[in-house]
Amino acid sequence: MKRTLLMVVPLGLALAAAIGACGPGGGGGQASLIELAQSRGLSPDDAARAIKTFVAPGGRDEYMLFASGGHSGQVHVIGVPSMRLLKSIAVFTPEPWQGYGYGADWSEEALDGPAPGRPGAGAARGTGGDLRWGDSHHPALSETDGKYDGRWLYINDRAHGRIGFVDLADFRTKQVLQVPNLQTSHGGIFATPDTKYVHISSKVPALKGWNASRGQSVSLDDHLNRYPDIYRGYSTFIAVDQKSGRMDVAKSFQIELPPYTQDLADSGKGVSYGYAFINSYNAEMATGGIQQGRPPLEVGASQLDFDFLHIINWQKAEQVVAAGKFTELNGIRVITLETAIAEGLLHLAPEPRSPHGVDIAPKGDYITVSGKLDPHATVYGFDRILKAIADKNYEGTDRYGIPILKFDAVVAGKVELGAGPLHTQYDNTGHAYTSLYLESAVAKWTLGEPYHPAANAFKLVDKVSIHYNIGHLATTHGDTMEPQGKYLIAMNKWSIDRHSNVGPLHPQNFQLIDISGPKMELLADMPIGFGEPHYAQLVKADTIKAHAVYPPGVSPATMEKSPNAIASEKDARIVRRPGVVEVWMNVVRSHFTPDIVTAKVGDTVIIHLTNTEQTADATHGFAVPTKNVMVSLDPGESTTVRFVADTPGTYSFYCTEFCSALHLEMQGWLIVEK
């Protein structure tokens, strides 16, 4: 039952503790604050929660949450602790407000570059052409020395083997890369502690040599009976250009993996720098086929007691590639399974069946694996793994010949947490926080030495209920070498009974939890009405140093001055050549110059738009009715749009941002003559 203030005797004491001895100046004192809380039906605890999360008008949140938007294909930026939505960054899905995917050159390049293997594909571009959605799962902020550096963000597309790259200088997506040989993705994305690479591995294994643009011939019989031979997974290390943040396939490499279903992955750091860890399930290699007399996949994939943690020495893989011991497959350098085994860069360790999350502790020394069907977290010791590898302490090999380390040799501890553990994050006092999907709770537990003396290691110390069905969770800097504690966000799949009814499709539910004390405390709910979030990262807001305005004439495509930028309306002009009308257009409050553009039917119209303002927030839009042309022109930005004038008539293009008192007048005409 909910307590109200009226039922609680020492309510004045509680509120006084929460708000300090004096009321705020100029307004209601302590007594009227209590009345206010009472009038809203708030308990003292509720009032304290409100004060802990409230950010006054004009104030700033201390943290920013970068949350995946799931199958909305976006990334959502949320202020913490206020849980206010600051921005949705379009990544895999067109979004008109940001002018993403509606004619702007930088966005078309990001979304539409042809996939590898398609005509005209550059090595590092391409999304497979006309895809207009993605399933964004796991964001990875760039890191320096194992800490978030606020420069870039990468996110995978679960539905496809794609990675989106967002430049945090302007919060815009600059590149969507189709990773060769992957049809789907899940393992990662993570950045190595120096962001030399971002890692992604396949989710469901794909046909060996899979290429979306060519396709592959296969039969039902092949699928059911030759699965272990014809399918493969891949662990992919995508090289990051250290100046631009862009991904470069030519400098990247993959390691071929067995067709177990590789699941989540995490990066070694500190003592385990140079290693990567990938979970898997379906070591049974079940194929589905209920009507073919096979068990449903969830049954077929749960026959064995153990699946496999994949342990990859990527620094060794780097050397193997440098020595030329790779084959090229669909435009990327691939270390085959045979080579990976021969070079000793790939090992397996048994993990309790059907694991999900693998999360490395801040010093890189512990590897926490949580298995949906096992109430424990299993903690592997990296020192034990190294020793078992050095001693060749194997319990055998898998059917492909990959050595399997002895379970007892590599496990440092186990801790019983509750039903359905999934993902783990860390704090600054040696604690781990694990989401419990089935139990709808977060478990807090202690790590071993050196975080806690051996006597206190791997013990459950607290639990808090959430609402409901938690997937991922995020603590402040909780997957880096320097977690900050303080807050935890529970990302819940179900929100039944928590919010106003908006129809059968319910929002998901984020819950803010205070982890600064010994007991976790639920502070606030935030309905998420824009796609199912998966992972998120919670970063100190002042880590991010975005432009307030672009320097004059900068193109979002290159982040350098565009050769087509103009300085003022004196430079505005129209140049015609056969079949083409090319316009250099100046954009300021409150007119376009030129404001009349004429073309002949069939002409290609190319407009180089420069917003020549340097006032923060003086954004203009450029929209053309009946065309998929909608460009956001932020102050200083220079962007090019091109389209075909295919129907005669006049078209009143206009500014879509209410930029000034004369915004409504900010329009012009495109006259298309027969």
CA 550 to chain centre: 25
- Residue 659 touches which of ligand RUQ, ligand CUA, none (Cβ within 5-8 Å per kind): ligand CUA
DSSP state of 210: -
- Residue 547 touches which of ligand RUQ, ligand CUA, none (Cβ within 5-8 Å per kind): none
Q: Minimum distance from CB of 157 to ligand CUA (Å)? A: 34
Give the Cα separation of 486 and 496 in Å (integer): 27
- When asked if residue 444 is in the footprint of ligand CUA (CB under 6 A), the reply is no
Q: Which 105-144 residues touch ligand RUQ, going by CB under 6 A?
A: 137-138
Binding residue (CB under 6 A) for ligand CUA from 167, 266, 514, 657 = 657
Q: Which 184-243 residues touch ligand RUQ, going by CB under 6 A?
A: 186
- When asked if residue 613 is in the footprint of ligand CUA (CB under 6 A), the reply is no
Give the Cα separation of 489 and 539 in Å (integer): 12
Piece of the chain touching ligand CUA by CB under 6 A; list 46-54, 90-98, 624-632, 652-660: 652-660
Task: Bin 401: left if φ > 0, else alpha if -120 < ψ < 50, else beta.
Answer: left
Among all chains, which residue has been given the structure tokens 């990334």?
75
- Residue 138 touches which of ligand CUA, ligand RUQ, none (Cβ within 5-8 Å per kind): ligand RUQ
101-114: buried (b, 16+ CB within 10 Å) or exposed (e) per residue? Answer: bbbbbbbbbbbbbb
Of the candidates 309, 404, 294, the residue with the CA atom closest to the CA atom of residue 360: 309
- Residue 471 touches which of ligand RUQ, ligand CUA, none (Cβ within 5-8 Å per kind): ligand RUQ
Nearer to ligand CUA, 316 or 663 (CB): 663
Q: Which 337-356 residues touch ligand RUQ, going by CB under 6 A?
A: 356
Q: What does each C-alpha distance from 349 to 105, 280, 307, 320, 405 come to in angstroms?
A: 47, 11, 8, 23, 5
Nearer to ligand RUQ, 423 or 452 (CB): 423
Q: Which residues pair with 255 in a beta bridge?
A: 235, 335
Q: Minimum distance from CB of 185 to ligand RUQ (Å)? A: 10
Piece of the chain touching ligand CUA by CB under 6 A; list 436-444, 469-477, 497-505, 653-661: 653-661
Q: Could you write out the DSSP letters of every residue in 149-177?
A: EEEEEEEEETTTTEEEEEETTTTEEEEEE
- 110 — phi, psi (to 5°)? -65, -45
- End-to-end alpha-carbon separation of the chain, Å? 74
- When asked if residue 431 is in the footprint of ligand RUQ (CB under 6 A), the reply is no
Nearer to ligand RUQ, 153 or 572 (CB): 153
Q: How many residues bind ligand CUA (CB under 6 A)?
A: 9
**Which token pair is 582?**
């090319």
**Which token pair is 575?**
């140049």
- When asked if residue 534 is in the footprint of ligand RUQ (CB under 6 A), the reply is yes
- When asked if residue 609 is in the footprint of ligand CUA (CB under 6 A), the reply is no
DSSP state of 114: P
- Residue 486 touches which of ligand CUA, ligand RUQ, none (Cβ within 5-8 Å per kind): none
Nearer to ligand RUQ, 102 or 535 (CB): 535
Of the candidates 373, 359, 495, 499, the residue with the CA atom closest to the CA atom of residue 440: 495
Give the Cα separation of 186 and 199 in Å (integer): 10
**Helix-strand-coil split of the chain, %, nearest 5:** 15, 40, 45
Nearer to ligand RUQ, 37 or 276 (CB): 276
- Residue 655 touches which of ligand CUA, ligand RUQ, none (Cβ within 5-8 Å per kind): ligand CUA
- When asked if residue 281 is in the footprint of ligand RUQ (CB under 6 A), the reply is no
Q: Minimum distance from CB of 666 to ligand CUA (Å)? A: 4
Q: Measured at the alpha carbon of residue 270, what is the angle toward residues 268 and 275, in degrees to the nearest 5?
A: 25
Nearer to ligand CUA, 336 or 590 (CB): 590
Q: Which 356-415 residues touch ligand RUQ, going by CB under 6 A?
A: 356
The counts of H helices and E strands in the chain are 11, 45
The site string for ligand RUQ over 165-194 (x = CB under 6 A, - otherwise) reads ---------------------x--------
Nearer to ligand RUQ, 49 or 353 (CB): 353
- 206 — phi, psi (to 5°)? -110, 165
Binding residue (CB under 6 A) for ligand RUQ from 422, 544, 597, 605 = 422
- Residue 356 touches which of ligand RUQ, ligand CUA, none (Cβ within 5-8 Å per kind): ligand RUQ
Give the Cα separation of 189 and 161 in Å (integer): 11
The site string for ligand RUQ over 470-509 (x = CB under 6 A, - otherwise) reads -xx-------------------------------------
- When asked if residue 160 is in the footprint of ligand RUQ (CB under 6 A), the reply is no
- Residue 137 touches which of ligand RUQ, ligand CUA, none (Cβ within 5-8 Å per kind): ligand RUQ
- When asked if residue 659 is in the footprint of ligand CUA (CB under 6 A), the reply is yes
Q: Minimum distance from CB of 510 to ligand RUQ (Å)? A: 15
Give the Cα separation of 452 and 141 in Å (integer): 29
Q: Minimum distance from CB of 68 to ligand RUQ (Å)? A: 8
- When asked if residue 663 is in the footprint of ligand CUA (CB under 6 A), the reply is yes
Piece of the chain touching ligand CUA by CB under 6 A; list 58-66, 154-162, 405-413, 658-666: 658-666
Q: Which 579-598 residues touch ligand CUA, going by CB under 6 A?
A: 589-590
Q: Which 349-368 residues touch ligand CUA, going by CB under 6 A?
A: none
- When asked if residue 666 is in the footprint of ligand CUA (CB under 6 A), the reply is yes
Q: 30-39 and 44-53 are packed helices; what angle lies between their axes, rounded to 10 degrees?
A: 110
Task: Bin 70: left if φ > 0, else alpha if -120 < ψ < 50, else beta.
Answer: left
**Residues with Cβ < 8 Å from 628, sequence gap 6 or more?**
102, 103, 643
- When asked if residue 620 is in the footprint of ligand CUA (CB under 6 A), the reply is yes
- Residue 666 touches which of ligand CUA, ligand RUQ, none (Cβ within 5-8 Å per kind): ligand CUA
Q: Measured at the alpha carbon of residue 627, what is the angle toward residues 619 and 574, in degrees to the nearest 5?
A: 70
Binding residue (CB under 6 A) for ligand CUA from 159, 379, 520, 655 = 655
Q: Which residues pair with 88 in a beta bridge?
A: 76
Q: Maximum CA pair distance of the chain?
A: 86
Q: Residue 63: is the preceding peptide bond cis (ω within 30°)? A: no
Residues that bind ligand CUA (CB under 6 A): 589-590, 620, 655, 657-659, 663, 666
Residues that bind ligand RUQ (CB under 6 A): 137-138, 158, 186, 356, 422-423, 471-472, 534-535
